[in-house]
Chain A
Amino acid sequence: TLKLATLVPQNSSWFRILQEMGTEWEKASGGRVKVVFYPGGRMGDDNDVIRKMRLGQLQGAVLASPGLAEIDRSVYALSIPLAFESTDEVYRVLDRLRPGLERTFESKGFVVLNWADGGWVRFFARRPVAGPEDLKAQKFFQWQGDTHTLEIWKTAGFNTVPAPAPELTTGLQTGLLDAFLTSPQVVLIMRYFEKAPHMTDLRWAMIMAGTVVRKDAWEKVPADVRPALLKAAQDAAGRLRRDMAASEATDIEALKRAGLKVVPVDARARTRWEDMLRGAHGKIRGAYVSAQAYDEAMAIRDELRKGGRR
């Protein structure tokens, strides 16, 4: 039996795809592999889930970037702010990084079966944010769990307010918080747009997701069925990627209908964001993501871009 936990909500198209993957695993193994999913954070957040995997209560999990980063921060190489132009570019860099990334995870005791994403995060704010100076004038929510990221924003001169995740709702209400980074889907579901009706038209960073299984549990799966399981996992990832890509546009449309205003970012404002990031470069490369993974990802990106122009 493989017990897999995830934060993905039970009643979502994402979870339906994961369940299909589970069914295919059971079918492909002729019933030798049983899959049980614990969706919607039943086993706790990503930190708890990883602890339970390490203890052996769970065999696997579908984790997003913050969770994957708890195993190894090199995964944030794919979420370097403003480093990638498109979803496609992220995945092309991922394809090249994968062997190394997966080796790193394996050395920490986990096998990565597939890679998908949770979409792009953007700034949402009470008052319009075009450049960094607009964000500095507002109280900026940071999840208190990631000290590295928090310190980067703080040092760059932003008015960050570290808080637990659920306090974003009350904080927007009381005025403790004005701005935050998240995906349009979350804003739509939580109706944050009522208090923070301005979305910055800037794809800040992409959140990755992946299915990981304890190495020993994976090796207990009969060797002859492993390829079929792997294939089912990869197919599921393909469906997840398509689902996510399609929902981004519909979610933004729905938000606009509900009164969300999209704040354009002109070339000058974009340069100011890039300048700000350059100022924090010493910490992003090193603390946010390891220097080696950072350099590798950027080298691959530059190489791919050059190849594209040729």
Chain B
Amino acid sequence: MSAIRSLLRNAVGGVLVLSFALLMALPLVDAAGRSLGGLHLPGSADLVQAVTLWLTFAGGLAATSAREHLTLSTAGWIGQGRAGRAARALASALSAGVAAMLAYASWNVVMANRAEGHILEMGIPAWTLDLMMPLALGAMALVFAWRAGDGWMARAAGFLAIPAAFLPGLLPGGPSIAYGLAALAGLSLLAGTPVFVAMAGVALCLFFAQGSPVAAVPAEIYRLVASPTLPAIPLLAGAGYVLAESGASARLVRCFRAWVGFLPGGMALMAASVCAVFTSFTGGSGVTIVALGGLLLPMLLQDGQEEGFSLGLVTASGSLGLLLPPSLPVILYAIVAGGRDQAVPPDRLYLAGLVPGLLLLVLTGAYGILKSRKRARTPFEGREALAATWAAKWELLLPVLIIVLFASGRTTMLETAAGALAYTIAAECFITRDIHPLRQLPGVLLKASALMGAVLILLSVAMGLTSWLVDAMIPDAILAWTTAHVHSKLVFLLALNLILLVLGSVLEIYSAIVVLAPIVAPLGATFGIHPVHLGVIFLANLELGFLLPPVGLNLFLASSRFGTPLPRLYRHVLPFLAILGIGLLLITYVPGLSLMLPRLLGKG
């Protein structure tokens, strides 16, 4: 048994490291080939998509075997007694059933892709690469079933859950009991079911109850993973991991302390700024925390900030920068909300979002300064500043490289991300030699991909749940109800803030924009709100929605990255939420913050 297990683990590990290597190499070859004049890998975009899918699902499997999936830490309350064992057995069996159902449903998706008949280079049918999805999910089901307990009885029950999951489909009353099952899946969170399993279970049951095929859930998972913007995320996160595992954080702390140590809260402001830049690149999918958290949290702690504050700061900073270029949500809003009679051009939206985006950043930093004003300061010393900068030069060059590559128009976003990872590996393995390229690097990448797998699966399952809400037109109903009851501009704006905050925390961000923006834009027009200002309000709300308890994505991601229980995280994030809330109100009720800059530049 253990021999098979270690063999499988090595196979999954091999797949993950290979996927990472390909994901990094393919865009780099494209970028280099283009500047060398026309050299180009045919079908490289397809391959990048497939490799991202592999990273997600093989990574998810690795996370399952390493127990890295996010759970609510309530299972500890149940205790070790008989009741505790029973609860854990139930949670594992349910996880096995849900994973099995997802595997079956994703098999259907793969067959639908097969019907498309898309052939990759060298005659490989594209659908064969997608088989990783049902395979990995099926393996996850087996791992969960095995975990139902130590005795054969419990394990048998765990394996029985796999066929049992398909029973509702065979029973005549299946759809009506599915609502009950959805509730059960939700409640099983308390017994320690991973969050992604519970969300997937709820989504599967809801689609089934409505009479739609359950394959709707993995179809949405596939849609997210195969979206062209996603591959940049594991690349940048990989770079963040390599930095976190090297001595970079100590060097960077020394450097920043030397330069801004005399300024109280300088480190907090720096952390928030770095997060903002990163988020503007990753498009506010919340992955900033996963990628940079491991680097920034130790830096803040080494700088002597208290732990709760540091956790709150990193969590809250994870979506700053959503309004700043080249953030994709801004472009998407412009595409979706703009029409022939009411244009919301993206460059204008970027301009308008500049002051509000920086305002939210400054508010976060100001709170950091306030919190640390009593702390000892380091006096500024020119020589130490220069020495510390020199010591951290290779890490400091990374953001310079990213900005130069991208802003000079030499590379696409994906190629920039690949360049960032390649540079980081080169710097930490071969220049500073903090990480041994053969003995340590694969391990670091594996650890990174298990966590990325956990995160990407969580993100994509959230898409699945969002997709049910969209299919059932729930957001439309909420907005329609509100507008029927709201008649003044002031109240409308307030209601808009509330609704967008709540829906923004529940819905995946791109779906939130695509579904809500076309409804909100004409409403805003009837209340006489400038379309560009409305766009800024809209995006600022989504930015805050990431932090809104109980289900804001940043909270989940921070909890899984730092192993902090969610309730504790809620407490630490609250002050930041309050401060950013004030910023949001300012942005909403002072149109000048958004509209002044475009007007000054003659683009009003």
Please name the residue on chain A nearest to B525 by beta carbon: A11
Contact B216 A57 (CB under 8 A): yes
Also in contact, A40 and B408, with CB within 8 A (given A57-B219, A170-B325) = no
Q: Return the contact of A167 from the options B115, B342, B413 (Cβ within 8 A).
A: B413
Within 8 A of B (CB), among A156-192: 157, 159-167, 169-171, 173-177, 185, 188-191
Contacts of B223 in A (CB 8 A): 44, 48, 51
A296 to chain B, nearest CB (A): 21
A33 to chain B, nearest CB (A): 16
Contacts of A51 in B (CB 8 A): 109, 112-113, 116, 219, 222-223
Contact A176 B212 (CB under 8 A): no
Q: Return the contact of A166 from the options B42, B216, B331 (Cβ within 8 A).
A: B331
Q: Return the contact of B412 from the options A11, A160, A176, A194 (Cβ within 8 A).
A: A176
Please name the residue on chain B nearest to A250 by beta carbon: B340
Q: Which one of A39, A174, A175 has the highest number of Cβ atoms from chain B below 10 Å of its Cβ? A: A174
Within 8 A of A (CB), among B404-463: 406-413
Contact A185 B213 (CB under 8 A): no
Q: Which one of A47, A159, A191 has the highest number of Cβ atoms from chain B below 10 Å of its Cβ? A: A191
Interchain CA distance A52-B108 in the complex, whole Å? 11
Contact A54 B340 (CB under 8 A): no
- Is the C-beta of A305 less than 8 angstroms from some C-beta in chain B? no
- Is the C-beta of A283 less than 8 angstroms from some C-beta in chain B? no
Interchain CA distance A8-B365 in the complex, whole Å? 42
Contact B229 A164 (CB under 8 A): yes
Please name the residue on chain A nearest to B105 by beta carbon: A55
Contacts of A139 in B (CB 8 A): 409
Contact B340 A147 (CB under 8 A): no
- Is the C-beta of A50 less than 8 angstroms from some C-beta in chain B? yes
Q: Return the contact of A191 from the options B325, B343, B413 (Cβ within 8 A).
A: B343
Also in contact, A40 and B514, with CB within 8 A (given A167-B413, A170-B413) = yes
- Is the C-beta of A282 less than 8 angstroms from some C-beta in chain B? no
Also in contact, A147 and B43, with CB within 8 A (given A48-B219, A57-B219, A174-B406) = yes
Contacts of B38 in A (CB 8 A): 154, 157, 159
Chain A 7-35 per-residue mask, 1 if CB under 8 angstroms from chain B, else 0:
00111100000000000000000000000
A272 to chain B, nearest CB (A): 20
A273 to chain B, nearest CB (A): 20
- Is the C-beta of A70 less than 8 angstroms from some C-beta in chain B? yes
Within 8 A of A (CB), among B86-121: 108-109, 112-113, 115-116
Contact A52 B216 (CB under 8 A): yes
B220 to chain A, nearest CB (A): 8
- Is the C-beta of A144 less than 8 angstroms from some C-beta in chain B? yes
Contact A9 B518 (CB under 8 A): yes
Contact B229 A57 (CB under 8 A): no
Size of the chain B interface, CB-CB below 8 angstroms: 62
Contact B215 A174 (CB under 8 A): no
Interchain CA distance A185-B42 in the complex, whole Å? 31
- Is the C-beta of A132 less than 8 angstroms from some C-beta in chain B? no
Q: Return the contact of A194 from the options B219, B347, B408, B522 (Cβ within 8 A).
A: B347
- Is the C-beta of A38 less than 8 angstroms from some C-beta in chain B? yes
Contact B336 A162 (CB under 8 A): no
Please name the residue on chain A nearest to B336 by beta carbon: A40
Q: Return the contact of B213 from the options A39, A57, A147, A166 (Cβ within 8 A).
A: A57
- The A contact surface, by secondary structure, is mixed
Please name the residue on chain A nearest to B327 by beta carbon: A170
Contact A189 B215 (CB under 8 A): no
Contacts of B228 in A (CB 8 A): 144-145, 163-165
Please name the residue on chain B nearest to A163 by beta carbon: B412
- Is the C-beta of A82 less than 8 angstroms from some C-beta in chain B? no
Contacts of A43 in B (CB 8 A): 470
Within 8 A of A (CB), among B193-240: 207, 212-213, 215-216, 219-220, 222-223, 227-229
Within 8 A of B (CB), among A33-80: 36, 38-44, 47-48, 50-52, 54-57, 70
Please name the residue on chain A nearest to B121 by beta carbon: A147
- Is the C-beta of A201 less than 8 angstroms from some C-beta in chain B? no
Interchain CA distance A90-B131 in the complex, whole Å? 41
Contact A190 B514 (CB under 8 A): no
Contact B108 A11 (CB under 8 A): no
Contacts of B265 in A (CB 8 A): none
Contacts of B514 in A (CB 8 A): 40-42
Please name the residue on chain B nearest to A192 by beta carbon: B345
Please name the residue on chain A nearest to B37 by beta carbon: A159
- Is the C-beta of B34 less than 8 angstroms from some C-beta in chain A? yes
Please name the residue on chain A nearest to B113 by beta carbon: A51
Contacts of A102 in B (CB 8 A): none
Contact A55 B109 (CB under 8 A): yes
Q: List 17 A-B contacts (CB under 8 A).
A: A3-B471, A12-B339, A38-B471, A40-B518, A41-B514, A42-B511, A43-B470, A51-B222, A54-B115, A55-B112, A144-B228, A147-B46, A165-B228, A169-B346, A189-B340, A190-B338, A247-B340
Interface residues of B (CB under 8 A from A): 30, 34, 38, 40, 42-46, 108-109, 112-113, 115-116, 207, 212-213, 215-216, 219-220, 222-223, 227-229, 325-326, 328, 331-332, 334-336, 338-340, 342-343, 345-348, 406-413, 470-471, 473, 511, 514-515, 518-519, 521-522
